[in-house]
Amino acid sequence: MSRELSNKPTSLTIIKDSANRYFASFVVETNPETLPKTSNSTGIDLGISTFATLSNGDKIEAPKPLKQNLKKLAKFQRKFPRTEKGSKRRERRRLRVAKLHAKIKDIRTDFLHKLSTDLVKKYNTIVLEDLNVSGMVKNRKLAKAISDLGWRQFRTLTEAKCEKYAREFRTISRWEPTSQKCSNCGFKGGKKELNVREWTCLNCGTLHDSLRLTGGYRDINAAINILEVIQPKTKVETTEAKVIETPVQLSLFNEVAEGRSETIKRTQSHRKSSPKKDANGNDVSTRPESTIQLRLFD
């Protein structure tokens, strides 16, 4: 065993998996543990290219064990059905496939355990988005990548460890527009496709691009919005944001209005400065005709 048991076990179960590995499962009574409280809170945005993006800008990459061993697994699985049923060779090849699957699972589980434990130790409040993972894996283009990351297992482990160490674990609705809203001023810029990695807020002009803070600022923006759903800005910060927003909004409208008026002025001046010409190239003015028409009406 890697560590001593805190008390005498009340029961013991021996488990054998498909890779012919044996595990001993103990049931032991333990005392509740608590960690020193901190004032740190974090919102976590889960993704495919980057496993987790924290609201403070930190990024955690996943090992993606299935992707790393996909070719080897495909090779073992091609050879397995070519063997005769009930033969020793078939059992050996089945065991090779099972051991590789177990290795992939162990790498993923080890990563998720270490990450969830580290987050629980650092932050007093952890906020996650309630993703519809079961519905997302129905997308055949993303199912393999999502399954390789283990989003649901990460949430389960983090929630259990928060409960164990007296931390606060919160989730927000999956319908919150975390990727559509600007974390600087709160302006909603509309739905954006996954391939849109940078965008500029139309209200405050903040650039959410893929080059800031070592890449993926769109994900950092979403992580900040996830945290602010539970811990919104104070009134002072909100008032200051509004004071900053107003001149920008007016300047934007002024630019549009001025641009339109300039266009009208240029069009009118162009019409005045470009008189019509006849077939011989002589200038022909239409203004006397209009003057005659007015006199007739008089």
For residue 83, the SS3 value is: coil
Cβ-contact 229, 127 below 8 angstroms: yes
The dihedral formed by the CA atoms of 156, 157, 158 and 164, expressed in degrees to the nearest 10: 110
Cβ-contact 151, 174 below 8 angstroms: no
CA distance 181 to 191: 9
Cβ-contact 146, 47 below 8 angstroms: no
Cβ-contact 167, 125 below 8 angstroms: yes
Cα–Cα nearest to 46, from 219, 297, 292: 219
Active site residue 45: yes
Q: Which two tokens stand for residue 77?
A: 């699985």
Considering 129, 159, 228, 245, which one is annotated as catalytic? 129
CA distance 214 to 140: 30
Considering 159, 219, 228, 245, which one is annotated as catalytic? 219
Active site residue 219: yes
Half-sphere exposure of 294 (CA within 13 A, CB side): 5
Cα–Cα nearest to 184, from 198, 199, 203: 203
Active site residue 209: no
Considering 45, 148, 159, 245, which one is annotated as catalytic? 45
- Positions annotated as catalytic residues are 45, 129, 219
